[in-house]
Amino acid sequence: MRGKFAFLVVFLLLFSVSTPLISPVTSSTSFSDRPLEIKTPSFNIIIEKQPWRLHVFDKRGGLIVEESRVPDVRYRPLSFYLDGWHFVKEVESYSREGEVYRFKCKTSGNMKAYVVLSVSDYGFNLKFLAPRKSKMVSESLTSASGSNRFYGFGERFNSLDQRGNTLEMWNMDPPKTFGTSTYVSVPFFMDLRNDKEGISCYGIYLNSSTKSQFKMCSDLMKDYQIVAESNTLEYHFIYGEDMKEVLSRYTGLTGRPALPPRWVFGPWKSRDAHYSEKDVYEDVNMMRRLDIPMSVLVIDSPWDTAFNDFEFNPKQFPNAQEMIDYIHGMGNKLVLWITPFTNVRS
């Protein structure tokens, strides 16, 4: 078995929520040399200018998350790798247009970098533009959650909570090892906060298709780091009362697919490989004999003559159409394993 049903669980979860995302708000700001405060109906942001550091608080004044205070240059907030690691030191100037804040910053090594912050009711988007020739960029954050339990990152084969792990955002077929590697990486996670004042949740979504890593307290006890092989880093902070609300706002941001047909939500039957038609008939008949509900039979790889040529292997399935008709006649749908590439020998 190759973890296909882990994908189905995530698939079902994404369809279970439908709260609208975010709408523009009016922020009150102070334009003095003091820290910049940005207020929304749900949370407040405070940005220290010298040195640069961003903090996010709830409406009661409780800390939700903030940029790291670790002095090691590799874990400083908004760092980049050029001829070594550098970081944003301070704000030189900034401007505001509505709810968009643009910061011109001075970095270590006496270079320039830019930060663009776009704020809404239940979140913000932060875009960090490092010097053009930078090879990597990173952000380091500290969660105020006492538990620091991190859920998300797409299909994984180790555990639900990814605290203490480094998660690569890079799909592989097959994965190097099952565990933290994956067929389906998603650069999004949620951290649930539970204290005496109540429960709240936030999510972080890295908007990037480059190879990246999430180091979830794997190097440091309290801090986590996002590293991307690029000269820009863009992420969304998404706030909500619980995981369902945060997940709904995330899918509202990235897009929601249409509701699939009813049969998709029934039990699926698969095995690592069906080496013959006998194996297929055995699965269908045994499920019926044991009175186990079933709506889908999955035929995993290998089943075709080459990767994605969509031709049943005649040695493996000499009477493919008859087999398909039997599966349908028993009230089941047939799903075939494919990959998003074509073999060069196909």
> How confident is the model at residue 74, as a pLDDT?
82
CATH for 4-254 (2.60.40.1760, 2.60.40.650, 3.40.50.1000, 1.10.10.10): 2.60.40.1760
* Tens digit of each residue's pLDDT (9 = 90 or more) over 240-274: 989 999 999 999 999 998 999 999 999 999 998 99
Mean pLDDT of the chain: 87
pLDDT confidence tier of residue 3, bands split at 50, 70 and 90: very low
* Tens digit of each residue's pLDDT (9 = 90 or more) over 23-44: 444 444 444 578 999 999 999 9
Residues 254-263: contacts with CB within 8 Å, 24+ apart? 254/205, 256/14, 256/15, 256/18, 257/14, 257/15, 259/15, 260/15, 263/295, 263/296, 263/333
Residue 175 · residue 181 · CB < 8 Å = yes
Q: What is the pTM of this model?
A: 0.81
Residue 88 · residue 47 · CB < 8 Å = no
Averaged pLDDT for residues 78-86: 95
* Tens digit of each residue's pLDDT (9 = 90 or more) over 95-105: 999 999 999 99
Strands 198-206 and 232-240, by their bridges, are antiparallel
Q: Which residue has the tokens 């990767």?
A: 307
Residue among 201, 183, 251, 239 at smallest CA distance from 17: 251
Residue among 183, 229, 181, 225 at smallest CA distance from 204: 225
Strands 212-216 and 79-81, by their bridges, are unpaired
Structure tokens at 303: 């089943």
Strand partners, 101: 96, 117
Burial class (CB in 10 A: 0-12, 13-18, 19+), 155: buried
> How confident is the model at residue 14, as a pLDDT?
38
Residue 18 has pLDDT above 80, yes or no: no
Domain ranges of the chain: 4-254, 262-336
Distance of alpha carbon 28 from alpha carbon 44, whole angstroms = 10
> How confident is the model at residue 103, as a pLDDT?
97
> How confident is the model at residue 9, as a pLDDT?
36
> How confident is the model at residue 327, as a pLDDT?
98
